[in-house]
Amino acid sequence: MDMDDETQELITLLCTRIGMIMEDANVVALTIGSRDQDARLAAIAKLDVAAEQIGRLIKATQSLLR
């Protein structure tokens, strides 16, 4: 079954958003070593949120591909 153009565009947008979240999380992850304990805890919380967002976006993308 062929996907319509709107579905393909939505998949592209979802994956673009995943990449944007990954870029932001990358900075947080790579700078965690230079932070104090409280800042590390906050950074880990940010990474957790990013991971949850990415997971939800992946599930949405998977559902469109089925």
> How high is the pLDDT of residue 1?
55
- Residues 6+ away with beta carbon under 8 Å from 34: none
> How high is the pLDDT of residue 3?
74
> How high is the pLDDT of residue 39?
97
Q: Encoding tokens for residue 17?
A: 């958003």
Closest alpha carbon to 15 in 45, 65, 47? 65
With a cut of 70, list the residues of the chain below it in pLDDT: 1-2
> How high is the pLDDT of residue 25?
98
Per domain, the residue ranges of the chain are 5-65
